[in-house]
Amino acid sequence: MRLERALDEYEKRKKKAEKEVEKVRKKYREHLKKKIREILKKIDSLEKKDVPGNVDDNIKKIVIAEKKNYVTALRNALASIETMDDLGKRLPDLAKLHVGHGKYLLLIFEKDVYAINRLLKELNEDYVKYYNELGRKGLPDLRVRELISEVEKTKENIATAEREKLELGRELKEKERELDEFYREHGLQRLEEDIKNLSSSLRTAEMEVRSKASKLQKPIKRMRLHEPIADELVGDSSVALRKPDEFISLLQRLYPRLDGKYRKTAQWLMENLKERADAIEREREKLSELERKRDRILADGDARKKEIWEIQRLIEEKEAEIRKLKRKLEHLERELDESLARLEEILGESIER
């Protein structure tokens, strides 16, 4: 059977079933009212009865209190019951009253309490019959058309979100290309390489001078000169580059007191330090200028980077939306499959989707 025809047949049967269900509701509603009136009469009768005179006064007080509580609780529970559905909601409360009366009340008014309990039990049995009859007469509320519409709408939303994600992806690539082009036009890569090479060259040149200067730390320390420049050298060999003139002056004074390899090292420094220090200083200034230029380029590129990060954030949000929609689609399709299987059971025919 084709789906549309199956749905029309289901709706026709459901309308018919709803009429049958309403007949069942009406039948049991009238029966319920009659049964509740009967119970209320029993309650009124119990309420009016006095405790026999031969009952102990203490027990008599307890029985009076139990009777009052029992009668009041029963009336309150029954007052809120107008339909069988109301009864179903209040059955747990009635079940408690069925066994919750006091032992002395049952002892004195056994016949009355048992009569009421029998009627309460019949109410429970009536509800079971009512529920079963509704199950036989009624049909489940299958929202197949609504589910089909929701499935199609969700598929459309997924397709839209995926198109939007694709467009964002294209926009991201374009922005990344523009950023790369901007860096290329301003020579960022070459600049980075120049900074790297110059930094390496500087480290090598500084290391050479500091290595030479560090060889003189021990002999100068042993001389105990107590001069600021000498004390600085003992703690840090870079002083030779920071204060080359003072350092050379120190070496010229100490040169006669040095011997062997120390004298040779001092001579190299006296001859080369000034030139090396000046060259290193020039290279440092050049490196600083290159780094400032690179930083300006990177700062100018930050605005473009922010655009890229914003697009990446939007893509992540779109991916999360797609995942959520796909989970919803799986749930809807599963519910639709279950509803169609139930519809096939009701109609007794397979359905072409």
pLDDT in tens, 211-247: 888 888 888 888 888 888 888 888 888 888 888 988 8
Token pair 């009421």 in the structure block, residue: 116
Residue where a domain stops, chosen among 108, 139, 170 = 139
Answering whether pTM is above 0.85, one says no
Are 215 and 110 contained in the same domain?
Answer: no
Q: What are 274-311's pLDDT values in tens digits? A: 998 999 999 999 999 999 999 999 998 998 899 999 99
Specify whether the CB–CB gap between 96 and 50 falls below 8 A: no
How many C-beta neighbours within 10 Å does residue 235 have?
10
Q: What are phi and psi of 305, to 5 degrees?
A: -65, -40
Are 116 and 157 contained in the same domain?
Answer: no
The total number of structural domains in the chain stands at 2
Q: What are 77-97's pLDDT values in tens digits? A: 898 899 999 999 988 888 877
Is residue 207 domain-resident?
Answer: yes
Are 220 and 320 contained in the same domain?
Answer: yes
Q: What angle do CA 25, 27, 30 make, to 5 degrees?
A: 105
Is residue 290 domain-resident?
Answer: yes
Are 169 and 248 contained in the same domain?
Answer: yes
Are 127 and 167 contained in the same domain?
Answer: no
Tokens of 55: 């009952």
- Which residue from 253, 212, 205 is spatially nearest to 229, judged by alpha carbons? 253
Are 127 and 155 contained in the same domain?
Answer: no
Are 173 and 261 contained in the same domain?
Answer: yes
Are 56 and 176 contained in the same domain?
Answer: no
Q: What's the rounded mean pLDDT across residues 330-345?
A: 91
Is residue 351 domain-resident?
Answer: no
Domain of residue 170 covers 148-344
Are 260 and 163 contained in the same domain?
Answer: yes
Q: Which residues contact 322 (CB under 8 A, 6 or more apart)?
A: 158, 161, 162, 165
Residue where a domain stops, chosen among 77, 112, 139 = 139
Is residue 157 domain-resident?
Answer: yes
